[in-house]
Structure 1
Amino acid sequence: MKTPVQLQELIDDGVIDEVLRPLKSGKEAAVYVVRTGDQVRCAKVYKDMAQRSFQQRVQYQEGRKVRGSREARAMAKASKYGRKQQEQEWKNTEVDALYQLRAAGVRVPEPFGYFHGVLVMELVTDAEGFSAPRLGEVALEAGQARDYHRVLLEQIKLMLCCGLIHGDLSPYNVLIGPDGPIVIDFPQVVSAAGNNAARTMLLRDVNNLTAYLGRSAPELLDTWYGEQMWELFQAGDLYPDTVLTGEYTPDESAVDLDSVREAINDAREMALIREQGRRAAEEEDY
């Protein structure tokens, strides 16, 4: 295997010692298994994105803090310099989120540093030491589905307590380690307080996982964890130790409950279709 230029820089700087193999390749990044001393880790090499992709990121970037006023102006004008800064901010967002969430006790890979556009972090493995499978690749019994749903809802709650929403959570960016689910892929993470679409994205994250796990445990489909979390968050009553029940009573005088339920079910079905397409596209990358 030819060593990617970005990883060769890390070898030259002594950050890593060897690139062992490719692990995963997607539209925005390629992940490699690397060795540092006697430790096996993974390195996420971000790909440069075309201007087309920036337009798709607008909904995620609303409410994010930009490091300087010059950069903010350039990004708003979409100049060449602004697009370059926007790309850099996009990458920095995942790095910052991983450190913040890891410190808050969220089940995410441990980051070891960001060098030359490459994020070096923990390689999540299964009980045998092989690369951990994604949730969407694992056959589940009802009890496992309920346990994974409980753990993942806890992670979403802890993220929200940090003011963050994953924004693209699905069965294909959750890894299953020996101790349960680990959430990955955070470049699109959303500011819960600063993004007008935050509630929509939170509900989509919850519904994506609930729809998938509900195949094995159908009773999960009749829960309202996302709505309950958001209501508590807005009221300032959501804390890491808050016990969630999945029960939620909307204001029926202002909301057409049947339409809300129908919209949620439609979103879940579309999420499953989208994930099937994404999985097929990722398989073509190999």
Structure 2
Amino acid sequence: MTSHLPEQQNTADPFNSLFGFAFEALDDVGPDQRWSRYDDPGIPIGPEPVPDWVITDQAIETELGILKTGKEADVYLIERALPPGQGDRAVVMAAKRYRSPDERQFHRDTSYTESRRTRNSRDRRAMAKHTRHGRSVEAGQWAAAEFGVLCDLWQAGVPVPYPVQLDGTEILMEFITTVGGTGAPRLAQTRPEPDQLESYWEQLHQAMRVLAGRQQTHGDLSAYNILVADDRLVIIDLPQVTDIVGNPHGMDFLARDCRNVCDWFSRRGLLLDADDLLAELISYAW
């Protein structure tokens, strides 16, 4: 009788001829740790050129604690470091984790998503019925939307955190810090001198022009969604970036963004007119 059982494999050989691929067993990691998934199939990664600080080799990720709690997502600090014996490279990143809709303290107005479509009919039905699968799909959509926007805007030169990778409902991205290494404050927490205030406005004004030139607006722009990394502004919280042409509410969101930022700068002594800014940005969109 002919045996159909495979020959005994040499367990010392990392190449498994039965399955036809090489594999390497990973050691267990400690509490609050995991292996990085940067090169895993199906994991979207950030755009080229990849910054030098991004560790693309197999590494250990350690959760350092929570940085910020939000109404729809929480941000954690994650250290990615090479395993012992493979070097001393390490980097701290921000991990934004979206909650499912039933766990959120805030539910976004559907007017943000009127220009978006879900291709999978099963997902559309599940979202409409608010099933567990539908809620999971919705959380993943917001994460995917923000990751895609971060990639596009980073490539367009808009000051946003570099997006490292997307894994389900988690976005790993650049942790924005001051020169001293501490987390950058929000613009709303600062009291800039007149010269610095003008520099901040020039940076934000240019970013809004680039967005308008792409027929987009932030959709929820304010001094609370802008970080100050010493002399540099960085715009954050971008899942609701809106197509001001394709979305019927797009112009309303653009006008609100203009009012929010002009009011903040005007209250600090740099007088700006929201209507003039709106007219200028509309001219960039067409």
Common fold by TM > 0.5: yes
Asked if 1 retains the 8 angstrom alpha-carbon contact of 2:102 and 2:135, the reply is no
- Out of 80, 97, 110, which is 1:36 matched to? 80
Change (3 A) 1:164 1:11: farther
Q: Is the 8 A contact 1:10 1:115 kept in 2?
A: no
In the alignment, does 2:207 pair up with 1:185? no
CA RMSD after TM alignment: 2.5
Structure 1 residue 223 displacement after superposition: 6.2
Distance 2:105 2:179 in 1: 37
What amino acid does structure 1 have at the position aligned with 2:230?
P
Deviation at 1:9, TM superposition (A): 11
| Match among 116, 134, 140 for residue 64 of structure 1 | 116
How far off its partner does 1:184 sit?
0.2
Residue 271 of structure 2 corresponds to residue 227 of structure 1: no
> What TM-score comes out, normalization by structure 2 length?
0.71
Q: How many residues are paired up?
A: 226
User: What SS does the aligned partner of 1:17 have?
Assistant: strand
SS at 1:113 equivalent: strand
Q: Contact 1:20 / 1:35 at 8 angstroms: preserved in 2?
A: yes
- Mapped to 2, the partners of 1:142 and 1:226 lie a distance apart of 24
Q: Which has the higher contact order (CA 8 A, sep 6+)?
A: 1
Matches within 5 A, 1:43-192: 43-50=95-102, 56-72=108-124, 74-75=126-127, 77-80=128-131, 81-192=133-244
Contiguous gaps of at least 5 residues in structure 2: 1-29, 38-59, 82-89
Say if 1:222 and 1:106 are closer, same or farther in 2 by CA, change over 3 A: closer
Please state if 1:216 is matched with 2:268.
yes
Q: CA deviation at 1:49?
A: 1.8
Preserved CA contact (<8 Å) 2:213 2:284: no
Provide the C-alpha distance between the structure 2 equivalents of 1:108 and 1:124, rounded to a whole number of angstroms: 9
Partners of 2:284 and 2:168 in 1: CA distance: 40
Assess if the C-alpha contact under 8 Å between 2:100 and 2:135 holds in 1.
no
Over residues 59-103 of structure 1, what are the superposed CA-to-partner deviations in whole Å (9 max), with x where a residue is unaligned? 10110243434434554x344244432332122110111011111
- Contact 1:203 1:227 (8 Å CA) reproduced: no
Matched AA of 2:205: L
Deviation of 1:163 after TM superposition, in Å, equals 3.2
Equivalent residues of 1:111, 1:119 under 8 A apart: yes
Letter in 2 for 1:12: R
C-alpha contact 1:169 1:209 (8 A) present in aligned 2? yes
> Cα deviations across residues 1-50 of structure 1 (Å, max 9, x unaligned)?
xxxxxxx9994333452112221111111111111111111111112222
- Aligned residue for 1:153, secondary structure, equals helix
Change (3 A) 1:232 1:114: closer
Say whether the 8 Å CA contact 1:41–1:120 is kept in structure 2: yes
Note the residue ranges of structure 1 that are not aligned, 5 or more in a row. Answer: 1-7, 237-286
Secondary structure of 1:108's partner? Answer: coil
Q: Report the CA distance between 1:161 and its aligned residue.
A: 2.3
TM-score (norm 1): 0.71
Task: Measure the CA separation in 2 of the matches of 1:9 and 1:160.
Answer: 45
For 1:19, the equivalent position in structure 2 comes to 63
| Corresponding residue SS for 1:95 | helix
Secondary structure of the corresponding residue to residue 219 of structure 1 = coil
2:246 to 191, 194, 198: 194
Larger radius of gyration: 2
What amino acid does structure 2 have at the position aligned with 1:24? K
Write 1 or 2 for the structure with the bigger share of helix: 1
Shift in CA distance, 69/159, structure 1 to aligned 2, threshold 3 Å: farther
Alignment partners' CA distance in 1, 2:181 and 2:221: 25
- State the secondary structure of the residue aligned to 2:211: helix
Residues 45 and 118 of structure 1 are in contact (CA less than 8 Å); yes or no, is this contact kept in structure 2?
A: yes
Q: Letter of the aligned partner of 1:154 in structure 2?
A: Q
User: Distance between the aligned counterparts of 1:10 and 1:119, measured in 2?
Assistant: 17
- Using the aligned pairs only, state the percent identity: 31
